[in-house]
């Protein structure tokens, strides 16, 4: 009887232990945000500016000061279509990218008319080593960053497709850039959080936590000569690529660049 009583006392604990998640299915590690910018230097990032080799930071365009990654043009005599971007040295597939940025100062002399408070987060980029010396933009998708002038509407967060196309509401995009469904104009030098979520061919843009655009099915455009090179075996689906920050002629700051991979 004593053994039976002991068994009745111990048995529930044994059963509970046996059915804990650790003893059945191992829990997946919690997803974590990882910083891509260390706040000190440009380690793991490489610039590519039109007319200059990969890694050549003409005019100290990309610099780190006081924990902020800045894009500046004070050493340019004139912009002269020297578009560029700063590329992270790793390819990503499924993830959520979070970037805090702000526009500051004045547009550079010689900038295009659309260059006022214009920048971009490029993703699904072609490998930076494959860019031509004078190629202005990579084959990529772009979260277009726009800043307002204090009075007019100029929504941020649109999708620009360079050498690619996507499906918005089930239809292929018909223009290079497509406005977001939810239009938010951001004036002044305020810090803004832009986020991009990529999940198995579905991509979502966010501004300050609010969803502004969603689209699917990114593919290389076979009609574009450079993009055509990345179509292998007839498969034009775009599943991954590099991330970069544009230098489009207006000064811009970044203080937080983080990614959570799925």
109's CB contacts (< 8 A; 6+ apart) are: 76, 77, 78, 79
The total domain count for the chain is 1
Structure confidence at residue 30 (pLDDT): 75
Residue 103 lies in a domain: yes
Predicted TM-score (pTM) of this structure: 0.88
Give 22's pLDDT tier (boundaries 50, 70, 90): very low
Residue 196 lies in a domain: yes
Show the domain range for 229: 29-261
What is the overall mean pLDDT for the chain? 92
Residue 182 lies in a domain: yes
> How many residues are given for the chain?
262
The strand pair at 140-146 and 171-172 is best described as unpaired
Residue 79 CA to residue 258 CA, distance in Å, equals 30
Residue 246 lies in a domain: yes
Residue 6 lies in a domain: no
Can you give the CATH number for the domain in which 74 is found?
2.60.120.560
Residue 12 lies in a domain: no
Q: Is the pLDDT of residue 2 over 70?
A: no
Residue-wise DSSP of 118-182: EEEEEEEEPPGGGS-TT--S-SEEEEEEE-B-SSS-----EEEEESEEEEETTEE--SSEE--SS
User: To which residue do tokens 């040295």 refer?
Assistant: 89
CB burial of 98-123 (b: ≥16 within 10 Å; e: otherwise) equals: bbbbbbbeebbeebeeebbbbbbbbb
Q: How many CA atoms lie within 13 A of 183 on its CB side?
A: 7
Q: Is the pLDDT of residue 157 over 50?
A: yes
Residue 45 CA to residue 38 CA, distance in Å, equals 11
Residue 16 lies in a domain: no
Residue 20 lies in a domain: no
Question: Tens digits of per-residue pLDDT, 70-121?
Answer: 999 999 999 999 999 999 999 999 999 999 999 999 999 999 999 999 999 9
């Amino acid at each position: 009887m004593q053994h039976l009583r002991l068994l009745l006392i111990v048995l529930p604990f044994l059963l509970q232990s046996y059915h804990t998640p650790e003893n059945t299915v191992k829990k997946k590690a919690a997803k974590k945000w990882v910083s891509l910018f260390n706040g000190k230097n440009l380690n793991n990032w490489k610039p590519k500016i039109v007319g200059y080799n990969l890694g050549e930071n003409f005019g100290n365009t990309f610099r780190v000061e006081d924990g902020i990654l800045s894009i500046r043009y004070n050493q340019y005599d004139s912009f002269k279509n020297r578009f560029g971007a700063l590329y992270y040295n790793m390819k990503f597939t499924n993830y959520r990218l979070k970037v805090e940025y702000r526009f500051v100062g004045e547009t550079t002399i010689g900038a295009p008319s659309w260059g006022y408070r214009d920048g971009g987060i490029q993703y699904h980029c072609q490998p930076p080593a494959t860019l031509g010396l004078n190629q202005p933009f990579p084959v990529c998708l772009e979260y277009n960053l726009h800043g307002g002038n204090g009075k007019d509407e100029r929504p941020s967060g649109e999708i620009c497709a360079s050498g690619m196309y996507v499906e918005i509401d089930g239809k292929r995009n018909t223009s290079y850039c497509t406005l977001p469904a939810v239009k938010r104009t951001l004036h002044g030098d305020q810090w803004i959080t832009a986020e991009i979520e990529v999940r198995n061919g579905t991509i979502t843009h966010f501004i300050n936590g609010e969803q502004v655009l969603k689209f699917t099915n990114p593919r290389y455009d076979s009609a574009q000569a450079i993009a055509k090179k990345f179509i292998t075996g007839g498969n034009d689906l775009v599943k991954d690529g590099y991330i970069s920050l544009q230098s489009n002629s207006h000064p811009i700051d970044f203080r937080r660049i983080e990614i959570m991979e799925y």
